[in-house]
A and B are shown apart, each in its own frame.
Chain A
Amino acid sequence: MIEPFPSSGIDLPSPTLSARLRELGDYLAAPSVGRLTEEQRALALGIARRLIADIAAQLDVGIDAAALWSDWLRGGVPSAQRIAVACFARAEEHRWRGQIAQLGRETPTADDAGAEIAEDAAEAISSDVDRTALALRIADRRRFDGQGNPCIALVDLDADVRRALLLDVAAWQLARSSADVDGAALLGEAVRSAIEAAPNDHGIDHAAAAYRAALGPDIGRASAIAIARHDWPSLIALAAVETQRSYGAMAIALLTAEIASLPALLAPLGLDRRTIAPLEVSLAMLPARAVSGANAGDEPAARLAAFSSFDGLPGDGA
């Protein structure tokens, strides 16, 4: 009897077919689960591309980042699983923050009480708060490239992921110039120095912690102002410090939270329900949001949980 399809153990004939069958398998396993939209896919892909280019530039040995990305697009990104969550978190944050520009006046803003909070914020603030708030904004702007596209600043990247990416990029370059012994030695040295280079203290997690420390007991008020102004980076930063998460982990926790669970998630900030309302509405209006909950025990959720664990601040030795 002839088997209609190749049995297990036989290599599938093409990576495209293999990928599509995997995708179909995933789909059949959970048909009603929302998949990535084209926008989410494109944003995350762009963020990954810029991250790889930045890693290649950090090695500073004349790596052709365009050729590298082109190769990896065909054959797959070696550290795909490691960078997927970070790229997705950054992409979703960017979509959320872009919502206000796209919807303009249709976007809900603070109600009267919120507007009062925002107005009152014009009062004089301490120089420490001002300085650290500015540093937070500078750290946040590092998470965009020169054209305003979202990216992941290398100083914000998890050390293990950074190391893995450096090794992957170096391996690609080595394969490309295998005959060049001097080049290989130079590359090895570049990788070592890049890995050993301690991340500086300009990362967003460090800036968030400094801002929170400067605020002292005013953290609740600062959080309320951030919500009233739709200043999501400040809110994410403060909530991250208060819940002992990294900025990226807090962003994805907020972006995937059930609306009903927001008060509990932000409880450490001491905000009342009315203050949180503009945040609830804003998140509810974000299309194709991946709300967590039902599948908390599955593998992607486990990866998210791992991503969410607080691993200390870059440069703090934590």
Chain B
Amino acid sequence: MTTERIVRARIDQSGTLVSADTPLLRLQQRAGGGLDRPLALPQLARLVALAQRLGREVTRPLYAADDHSDIHAIVRILPDDDGANLEISDWRTRPIVDPQRSLAAGAISDPRGWTWECDQQLRLVALRSGSDAPPVPAGWEGRSLSEVFELQPDDDGNFPVLRALARQAHFEGQRVRIATPDARVGMALSGDPVFDGTRRFTGFRGSVAPFEASDEAVVAPATDPAFGSLPLSDPQFGRRIDGALRGPLSRIIATAETISGQFDGPIRADYARYAGDIAHAGRHLLGLVDDLADLQNIERPGFKAARDEIDLGDLARRAVGLLAMKAEEKNIRIDAPRKDDLMPATGEFRRVLQILLNLIGNAIRYSPDHSQIWIRLDRESDRATVTVADQGQGMSAEDQTVVFNKFERLGRTDGGGSGLGLYIARRLALAMDGDLAVDSAPGQGARFTLSLPARDG
């Protein structure tokens, strides 16, 4: 879900949140903070501190996560003498995919299955059949789960439902047999614990899905609970790995940044450095997860990008704004299009920004200190183009033929990237009826040109 409006907030000199629009305030509350309390979002607090220290505007991507969702946004921090104003745009929330829950939810929608609910003593209080499922047995009301379903042990001799009862936790793969008017059928039971207002366990709620011979592998004890036995080529695998890794990684990064930033008090300098290394490695892994998720998405048959009316000049300036601090760290000057430079085109706003961030990010990464990067807009017939040129070491003709290949890093072994960025960027450009090309020579830098269908502004 995306919100187009700007989310605003105000921080005072001591880092206390004195006012905030609802989305940010809710996030702050879920992080354990509130109004008139210190900012409880470590990454944001760190950016505010950075902007205040530098005494200048800072614009950066913001990644946050809570129990419900991942939040991606772009935050602009405007420091002043009394604190800082925050303007957060492009606020995107994405529900966290809990791999275990997604399995249960999928089964509930199975028309061949049933849904059920029991109380804390495993007495059935609800049992319903899907449209194509066998009818539920008569007289189930209030009967024990083990009376209605003949519970079967798993390969280790355990009963998942009973283990879950002891832990008051989610379970799945509880094999059961049940007598229907026609035959005895095998089914698999899954459920989530239910709690009341005082967090008292009040039973389970879940689904019963048909259990077929091929399901054996799913409930085999060697199967990973997050990924099941899905092959790498299955789109479900990509979604699950994305959901399973993103949340933990975001929390690792946030915690490491908290330690590194010494928000809870001073610690030894080498410990703070280690925490900084952990946060850096975490961000790298998160970037890899993003790349893999993108890869899975764009390689899906029929993938198509949206056709928004965009201005390449505006997008280039936004991308430069997001990467300005990174460039400044290496004293790299970026010659961006002026504010009145327009280049109307057609393409998906978010995807074009992603491509430009990749191109400019690469240019910064592989350019020497104190060098310059140029961004030029042009129009050739019905094509609108934006070119990112750097003063890096450049590429041979041979390298240029493979630079857009998957996992191609041109022999580099540093931790700078996954080798997927340019591959994804070109695939995205092609999906928008555009293209991405490179022109380079060793020792003469590189020029990457993104072309898209032009639009008459």
Contact = CB atoms under 8 A, between A and B. Distances in A.
Interface of A: 100, 104, 106-107, 109-110, 115, 118, 131, 134-135, 137-138, 141-142, 144-148, 228-231, 278
A110 B119 contact: no
A104 B142 CA distance: 29
A106 B32 CA distance: 10
Given A106-B29, A147-B108, A138 B198 contact: no
Interface in B91-143: 108-109, 114-115, 117, 119, 123, 125-126, 128-130, 141-142
A134 B125 contact: yes
B200 interface: yes
A280 to B, nearest CB: 14
A137 B125 contact: yes
Contact of B126 (A104, A115, A138, A229): A138
B197 A229 contact: yes
Given A134-B142, A138-B142, A141-B125, A146 B198 contact: no
A229 B115 contact: no
A131 B108 CA distance: 28
Interface string B187-217: 0000000001111100001000000000000
Contacts of B142: 131, 134-135, 138
Contacts of B130: 146
27 contacts: A100-B197, A106-B29, A109-B197, A109-B199, A110-B197, A115-B198, A118-B200, A134-B119, A134-B142, A135-B141, A135-B142, A137-B119, A137-B125, A138-B142, A141-B117, A141-B125, A141-B126, A145-B128, A146-B114, A146-B115, A147-B109, A147-B115, A148-B115, A228-B197, A228-B198, A229-B197, A231-B197
Given A138-B141, A141-B117, A146 B128 contact: yes
B334 to A, nearest CB: 44
A100 B194 CA distance: 12
A115 B196 CA distance: 12
Given A109-B198, A135-B142, A147-B108, 7 more contacts: A137-B119, A137-B125, A138-B141, A141-B117, A146-B114, A229-B198, A229-B200
Contacts of A104: 67
A73 B294 CA distance: 40
| Shortest Cβ-Cβ A-B pairs, 10 listed | A230-B197, A141-B126, A146-B128, A146-B115, A229-B196, A137-B125, A138-B125, A141-B125, A118-B198, A134-B142
A229 B198 CA distance: 5
Nearest to B109: A147
Contacts of A106: 29
B21 to A, nearest CB: 17
Contacts of A229: 196-198, 200
Nearest to B67: A104
Contacts of A134: 119, 123, 125, 142
A141 B109 CA distance: 18
A110 B196 CA distance: 11
